[in-house]
């Protein structure tokens, strides 16, 4: 994903709500408990990890079963205590005082969890999330033990592990999960099956029928994601249901391939994941740190109309309406209408889409805005838009538009639709309808004094299914280009 790739806007709870969610996550809450548990007798090893002989006490402090439990349960409890301690160190809840002595003390961030602002809590949680994502890309302990050489050092050449590739894979998965969650066409809160998530980063979007090799790679990736989301689950990033163990064979791989009918019929048995509001916030923060524009619904409410019209240019219809309603809520209707109309002017390539969004915004304004629309009836760029609004609101004494204004508005509307939708089925239908309603449309259209006239006519020639009409459109586009050149 490039830095210029537009991301869809997301809806986020308040920082206070998100901070409460962060404090309740298993990873951060356990890390805080261990930071408060640690005392002058607590010792760490050279890497900052809790000394092995203190892990049982740490596990007990977390309420994990260690006394009279079976060995496997104890092992899991000690591993969880170790993970929570690492999170405490990674987030500054605990600080190492003396590396040689291995002594520790409470970190400055510990007090912020109770006395700091929501933003402080979220910053600490983001540090924990970053560390967990990094951990999720590392091979599991068994693989690392198998890779030890005679000197006790890890021989990375024996591991089928490329750190950069692993990080890139997980980042790609998380980015796609963010996009799927933010897509307003998808049911809100719908979980994403792991096979679909794995396929989203492995199968190219232009491949209609994945190959067997691709599907085998999807199955392998699915199991890798199952392990990684188990690691990330404690961060509160996502609600996760692991792969059904009944589907696994003795060697730990998925029994059927992702192509099998059983998988297609019951994808949820192969694991599902749903990004939480806190997870959405966390991934958005990572996008922002990477230089991406990652908007949220409501962030334009206190900005000018120009920022609103430009900012919502690539929003989905639901998000654009919500953003506009929030913007209008803090303004008087007449003042808002005048500000929107002023921002809609212009002959730059983005102007037609601004006017389309202006028209959509004005549809949410009541009749109190009528004077603002009448003020622009003679404006060559806004007069057509104003007449449409006045007619829709039942106004009287609307002057009839000239033919030049009608054609200018038609070109402007088509240019906006091209910018918003590209070659959509709706645009094709609009092009067909225009050509059918006006027998001499192209004879007049090429003369329209609009910056996008030639571009619109070329698009009509490309989109119209009738070859004869498409040829007329291309001829008209050529004339428009010549006129613009002159």
Alpha-carbon torsion (43, 44, 49, 55), positive or negative: negative
- Whether 302 contacts 328, CB under 8 Å: no
pLDDT (0 to 100) of residue 260: 46
State what percent of residues in the chain have pLDDT above 70.
Answer: 90
Which has the closest alpha carbon to 463: 451, 477, 473? 473
Phi and psi torsions of 449, nearest 5°: -85, 75
Give the C-alpha separation, 243 to 254, whole Å: 9
- What would the two tokens of residue 10 be? 């997301």
What is the Cα–Cα distance from 342 to 354, expressed in whole angstroms? 11
Tokens for 26? Answer: 């298993």
The mean of the pLDDT values for the chain is: 87
Quickly count: other Cβ atoms within 10 Å of residue 69's Cβ.
14
Would you give the DSSP letter of residue 292? -
What lies within 8 Å, CB to CB, of 477 at 6+ separation is 446, 454, 455, 457, 458, 460, 461
- Compute the half-sphere exposure of residue 187: CA atoms within 13 Å on the CB side of its CA: 5
Per-residue pLDDT reduced to its tens digit, 309-360? 999 988 889 999 999 999 999 999 999 999 999 999 999 999 999 999 999 9
Determine contact, residues 192/180, Cβ cutoff 8 Å. Answer: yes
* pLDDT on residue 287: 95
pLDDT in tens, 213-259: 999 999 889 999 999 999 999 999 999 999 887 776 544 444 444 44
* DSSP codes, 214-233: HHHHHHHHHHHHHHHHHHHG
Nearest-5° Cα angle at 235, 242 to 57: 100
The whole-angstrom separation of Cα 198 and Cα 273 is 12
Q: Are 453 and 459 in contact (CB under 8 A)?
A: no
Query: What pLDDT is attached to residue 206?
Result: 85
3-state SS, residue 148: strand
Taking only the tens place, the pLDDT of each residue in 416-458 is 988 887 777 777 887 888 777 777 888 889 999 999 999 999 9
* Element holding 352 (H helix, E strand): helix 351-362
pLDDT per position as a tens digit, 374-425: 999 999 999 999 999 999 999 999 999 999 999 999 999 999 988 887 777 7
Which residue matches tokens 């998925």?
254
What is the Cβ-side half-sphere exposure of residue 121, based on CA atoms within 13 angstroms? Answer: 23
Structure tokens at 315: 């929003």
What are the tens digits of pLDDT across the range 282-316? 999 999 999 999 999 999 999 999 999 999 988 88
Residue with tokens 């039942």: 394
- Does residue 94 contact residue 105 with C-beta atoms inside 8 Å? yes
**Cα separation of 92 and 79, whole Å?**
20
What pLDDT does 165 receive?
85
Report the SS3 class of residue 248: strand
**How wide is the angle at C-alpha 281 spanned by C-alphas 277 and 287, nearest 5°?**
140
Indicate if the pLDDT at residue 143 is higher than 70. Answer: no
- pLDDT > 90 fraction of the chain, expressed in percent and rounded: 64
C-alpha–C-alpha distance, residues 372 and 95, integer Å: 62
- Residue recorded with tokens 């089925």: 425
- The rounded distance, in Å, linking the Cα atoms of 60 and 67 is 8
Provide the residue ranges of all domains of the chain, joining segments of one domain with +.
15-116, 163-289, 305-400, 406-485
Mean pLDDT confidence for 168-193: 90
Alpha-carbon distance of 170 to 186, in angstroms, equals 22
CA dihedral (474, 476, 478, 484) positive or negative: negative
């Amino acid at each position: 994903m490039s830095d210029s790739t537009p991301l869809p806007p997301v809806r986020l709870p308040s920082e206070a709500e998100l901070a409460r969610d962060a404090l309740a996550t298993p990873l951060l809450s356990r890390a805080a408990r261990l930071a408060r548990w640690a005392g002058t007798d607590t010792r760490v090893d050279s890497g900052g990890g809790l000394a092995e002989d203190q892990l049982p006490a740490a596990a007990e402090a977390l309420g994990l079963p260690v006394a009279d439990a079976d060995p496997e349960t104890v092992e899991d409890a000690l591993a969880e205590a170790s993970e929570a301690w690492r999170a405490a160190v990674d987030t500054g809840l605990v600080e190492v005082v003396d590396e040689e002595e291995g002594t520790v003390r409470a970190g400055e961030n510990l007090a912020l969890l109770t006395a700091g602002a929501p933003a402080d809590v979220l910053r600490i949680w983001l540090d924990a999330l970053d560390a967990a994502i990094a951990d999720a890309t590392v091979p599991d302990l068994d693989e690392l033990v198998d890779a030890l050489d005679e000197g006790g050092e890890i021989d990375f050449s024996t591991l089928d592990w490329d750190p950069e590739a692993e990080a890139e894979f997980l980042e790609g998965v998380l980015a796609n999960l963010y996009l799927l969650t933010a897509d307003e066409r998808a049911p809100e809160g719908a979980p994403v099956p792991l096979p679909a998530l794995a396929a989203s980063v492995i199968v190219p979007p232009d491949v209609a029928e994945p190959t067997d090799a691709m599907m085998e790679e999807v199955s392998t990736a699915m199991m890798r994601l199952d392990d990684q989301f188990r690691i990330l689950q404690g961060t509160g990033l996502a609600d996760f249901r692991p792969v059904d163990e009944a589907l696994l064979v003795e060697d730990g791989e998925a029994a059927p391939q992702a192509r099998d009918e059983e998988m297609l019929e019951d994808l949820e048995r192969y694991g599902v994941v749903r990004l939480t509001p806190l997870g959405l916030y966390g991934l958005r923060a990572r996008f922002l740190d990477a230089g991406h524009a990652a908007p949220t619904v409501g962030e334009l409410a206190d900005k000018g109309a120009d920022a609103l019209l430009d900012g919502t240019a690539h929003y989905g219809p639901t998000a654009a309406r919500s953003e506009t309603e929030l913007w209008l809520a803090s303004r008087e209707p007449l003042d808002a209408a005048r500000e929107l109309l002023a921002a809609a002017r212009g002959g730059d390539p983005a102007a037609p889409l601004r006017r389309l969004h202006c028209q959509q915004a004005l549809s949410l304004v009541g009749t109190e805005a009528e004077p603002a629309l009448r003020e622009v009836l003679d404006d060559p760029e806004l007069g057509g838009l104003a007449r449409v609004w006045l007619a829709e609101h039942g106004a009287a004494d609307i002057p009839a538009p000239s033919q030049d204004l009608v054609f200018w508005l038609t070109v402007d509307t088509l240019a906006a639709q091209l910018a918003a939708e590209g070659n959509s089925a709706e645009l094709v239908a609009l092009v067909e309808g225009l050509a059918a309603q006006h027998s001499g449309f192209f004879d007049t259209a090429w003369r329209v004094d609009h910056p996008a006239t030639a571009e619109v006519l070329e698009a009509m020639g490309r989109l119209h299914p009738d070859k004869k009409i498409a040829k007329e459109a291309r001829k008209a586009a050529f004339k428009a280009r010549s006129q613009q050149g002159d």
